[in-house]
A and B are shown apart, each in its own frame.
Chain A
Amino acid sequence: MTLVELEGLTCGYQDRVVLADLNLRLDEGQRLGLAGHTGSGKTTLLKAIMGLVTPTGGVVRILGSECRQNGDFTQARRVLGYLFQNSDDQLFCPTVLEDVAFGPLNLGASQAEARAVALECLSMVGLCGFEERLTHRLSGGEKRLTSLAGVLAMRPKALLLDEPTTGLDPESKARVAEVLRGLDLALLVVSHEWDFLTQVTNRYFTLSHGHLHEAAEAPHLHHHVHSLGDLPHSHD
């Protein structure tokens, strides 16, 4: 089943073209990785899928139906979970449990149901005991995992993740990767860290000058993935 389909998507601001005639398909269970330099339009691509930026041309189809206006995306946003690059934008409730339960409550769950879903998702990301913690006092890694729990609580079919490792220490990165690997969901992961992409996805694209290119095989840096990542190190 095709979850997301982009056909000739074009986005731009004033005279600058960010995405040009871009095609992409995300099927159920697929795990796509998308790399590109800062400013290459990765975030714009994800926001266009979520209906947060209006494309200048092309078609966005979610679950086979075309989405044009804000209203069309309401249904789409129940299917797609979007993890923002900045966790502080996403964690807008004062406490962890309230934040994770925000989505289910909006989707019509009762207070008891929302609480149960929130607790379940917190256990999925390994944050038991954090329920009453204040979101603004969490560490960067805890914030990211709480945001992830909040997105998972919507029971999406696919996750769109925008730089899920930015600003995290290696330990938190590993935990995010572990949680993502354990999910039975389609993923579209945007990151500039190849190491991370190779851990959680299995098809790779690059975005440059508004165009998407599929890497025919695993990118060359793939040969160099190991626990030390991008830290300086030597080989015996």
Chain B
Amino acid sequence: MSGQCAQEAQPGLDPRSRLLCALGLCVAVAVCRSWPAALAGLGFGAACLALNSGRWGALARRLALVNVFFLGLIATVPLAVPGDPLLRLGSLAFTREGLMLALHMTAKGNAIFLIFWGLVQPLSPPRLGSALSALGVPDKLCLILSLTFRYLDLMRHEWDRLVTAARLRGFTPGTSRRAWGTYGLLLALLFMRAMDKSAAIHQAMICRGFDGRFRSLGGLRWRAVDTALGVAACAGIVLVAVLERGSA
């Protein structure tokens, strides 16, 4: 056949450093209460985008989706916060303080989203799994994550097959009682196949020495850039803390 396969080093940052830095920065921004800290968070988010390669179109779409939720907040929070009314709707007052609070939440939410997009979104689920495993997350949880990702596509195809088979036999999707009954049947079949499949998968695992413990292959490498990212993230967290104290 062919020659010996070579072990190739994974390029780029260690998923552990990405995950830990994202967690630290996101928590810092999530709990801050001051405007300077939230704005600093937006700055971190923008900086983190450099660690995700391109995909600007996808980013714009996701960002728009995130902000639909915040539009809801901007519309409702000012009604619940007492203060200087900007607008009166009958007995309800739309206050300046409330608007500022809602905008503050929006800034934080966007900052956290950008940090996540820059640091975590580039990780494939298997990379995330190996990072979690290396960080001490229980084997069993890592195995559930690994299986869920592995069989997600298979289950989606299974669903498509079930729906196609039903359509070929005259099923028309709709809101009728009958259509929903059919959806229920198809979902039941999907879950039944998943259970049958899991029995076969478990047998295959047993044949390869599975004894209930899931062992990770490891192979992550912490490099100087990871330490640098860690230092930068710590500096960011300290900055948030200082800004919080300064405006308290």
A120 to B154, CA, bound (A): 29
* CB <8 Å contact, A122 and B5: yes
- In the complex, what's the smallest C-beta–C-beta distance from B149 to chain A, in angstroms? 5
Task: Return the contact of B5 from the options A82, A90, A129 (Cβ within 8 A).
Answer: A129
Which B residues from 185 to 228 make CB contacts under 8 A with A?
197, 200-201, 203-211, 213, 215-219
- Within 8 Å CB of B124, what residues of A? 134
Interface string of B80-118 (1 = CB under 8 A from A): 000000000000000000000000000000000000000
Task: Return the contact of A88 from the options B6, B129, B154, B207 (Cβ within 8 A).
Answer: B154
- Within 8 Å CB of B2, what residues of A? 123, 126, 128
Interface string of A102-139 (1 = CB under 8 A from B): 11011100010011100110111111110110111100
Are A52 and B208 CB-contacts (below 8 A) given A126-B2, A131-B5, A132-B10? no
- Within 8 Å CB of B151, what residues of A? 136
Task: Return the contact of B207 from the options A52, A119, A135 (Cβ within 8 A).
Answer: A52
User: What are 8 A-B pairs with beta-carbon distances under 8 A?
Assistant: A84-B200, A90-B204, A95-B126, A101-B217, A102-B208, A120-B4, A132-B8, A154-B208
- Within 8 Å CB of B197, what residues of A? 88-89
Which B residues from 115 to 144 make CB contacts under 8 A with A?
124-126, 129
- Within 8 Å CB of A178, what residues of B? 1
- In the complex, what's the smallest C-beta–C-beta distance from A173 to chain B, in angstroms? 16
* CB <8 Å contact, B208 and A111: no
Closest CB pairs A-B (n = 3): A106-B209, A128-B5, A94-B126
Task: Return the contact of A105 from the options B125, B147, B201, B217 (Cβ within 8 A).
Answer: B217
- Within 8 Å CB of A111, what residues of B? 216-219
Are A103 and B208 CB-contacts (below 8 A) given A128-B5, A136-B150? yes
* CB <8 Å contact, A97 and B153: no
- Within 8 Å CB of B204, what residues of A? 82, 84, 89-90, 92
Are A106 and B200 CB-contacts (below 8 A) given A93-B146, A95-B126? no
Number of A-B residue pairs, CB cutoff 8 Å, is: 114
A89 to B210, CA, bound (A): 14
* CB <8 Å contact, A115 and B201: no
Are A106 and B126 CB-contacts (below 8 A) given A136-B154, A179-B1? no
Are A123 and B3 CB-contacts (below 8 A) given A84-B200, A92-B201? yes
- In the complex, what's the smallest C-beta–C-beta distance from A181 to chain B, in angstroms? 11
Interface string of A43-54 (1 = CB under 8 A from B): 000010010100
Q: Which residues of A contact B (CB under 8 A)?
A: 47, 50, 52, 77-78, 81-82, 84, 86, 88-95, 97-98, 101-103, 105-107, 111, 114-116, 119-120, 122-129, 131-132, 134-137, 150-151, 154, 178-179, 182
Closest to A123 in B: B5
* CB <8 Å contact, A98 and B4: no
Kindly list 15 other residue pairs between chains A and B, CB separation below 8 angstroms, not including A116-B7, A178-B1: A52-B203, A77-B207, A86-B200, A92-B201, A94-B146, A94-B149, A97-B217, A103-B209, A105-B217, A106-B213, A106-B215, A122-B5, A123-B1, A128-B4, A132-B8
